Amino acid sequence: MKRYFQHIILIICLLFAIQNFAQKKDVKGYRIDGDEIVFTFDKEDYKNATHDEYGVLKDFEDLDIENVVVSGNFNNWSRRSWKMKKIDECHYELRKNIEDFTDDFMWEFKFLINHTYWAEPNENIANTTPATNEFGGYYNSSNLKFYTAVPKENGNTKFHLKGFQNAKEVVLSGSFTRWDEEYLQMKPTEDGWEISLDLQPGAYQYKFIVDGNWMEDPDNKKKTLNEFGGYNSVVEVKKWVTFKLEGYPNAEEVILTGSFNNWNENSYQMQKSENGWKIQLYLAGGKHHYKYIIDGDWTIDPENPVLEYDGRGNINCVKMVK
Q: In this predicted model, what pLDDT tens digit does every residue of 155-213 receive, in sequence order?
A: 889 999 999 999 999 999 999 888 988 889 999 999 999 999 988 888 899 999 999 99
For residue 18, what pLDDT is reported?
38
Is the pLDDT assigned to residue 17 strictly greater than 90?
Answer: no
Is the pLDDT assigned to residue 16 strictly greater than 50?
Answer: no
- For the segment 278-303, the average pLDDT, to the nearest whole number, is 92
Q: How far apart are CA 304 and CA 129, in angstroms?
A: 39
Instruction: Give 51-88 pLDDT, tens digit per residue.
Output: 887 778 888 888 889 999 999 988 999 999 999 999 99
Question: pTM to 2 decimals?
Answer: 0.64
Q: How far apart are CA 137 and CA 132, in angstroms?
A: 5
For residue 115, what pLDDT is reported?
92
Percent of the chain with pLDDT over 70: 89
R_g over Cα of the chain: 25
- For the segment 261-274, the average pLDDT, to the nearest whole number, is 91
Per the prediction, the chain carries an average pLDDT of: 85
299 close to 292: Cβ distance less than 8 angstroms: yes
Q: Enter the DSSP assignment of 219.
A: T
Closest CA to 146 of 118, 125, 172, 124: 125
